[in-house]
Structure 1
C-alpha cells in the first residue's frame, strides 16, 4: 500500500475543516440574523458547504494530476485546465 505525503493529507484535511466552518457559519447566520427556519438554513448551508468541498477537492486533484501527468496516460490536459478523456 502506497503512503500519501503528509502535506497532501493536511491539505485535504484543511478542506474538511473549512467545509465544516463554512457550513456552521452560514447556518448560524441564516438562523440568527435572518430568522430563516432551521431546516431551510441547514439545507442552504449544506449545499454551500458541499459545493465548496467539491470545488476545493477538484482544485487539489487537478494540481495532483498536472504533477503526475505521465502517470495518467489516458488524460490529456490543454491550456484551459480542462481534462480531455480519450
Structure 2
C-alpha cells in the first residue's frame, strides 16, 4: 500500500472507531434513561397501589429488623452472616 492510501485507511479506521465509541456511549446513555424511566414508572405504580403503604411498612420493618440483627451481631462479635442459633 502506498503512503497516501495508508493515511486514508488509517483516517477511515479512526472514523469508524470514533463512530463505534460514540454509539457505545449513546447505548449507555439510553440504558440510564431507560432505568430512570422504569424507576419513575414503578414509583407511580406504587403510589397508585392501594397496598403500597402496607408493603412499604413491611419493607421498612424488615430493614429495621435486619439492621438490629447486624448491630446485635457486631455487639456479640459475630461476623455478618453468622447467626445466634439460640434465638433463631
TM-score range, shorter chain: 0.3 to 0.5
TM score, norm. by length of structure 1: 0.42
Higher helix share: 2
Higher strand share: 1
TM score, norm. by length of structure 2: 0.41
Structure with greater contact order relative to length (CA < 8 Å, sep ≥ 6): 1
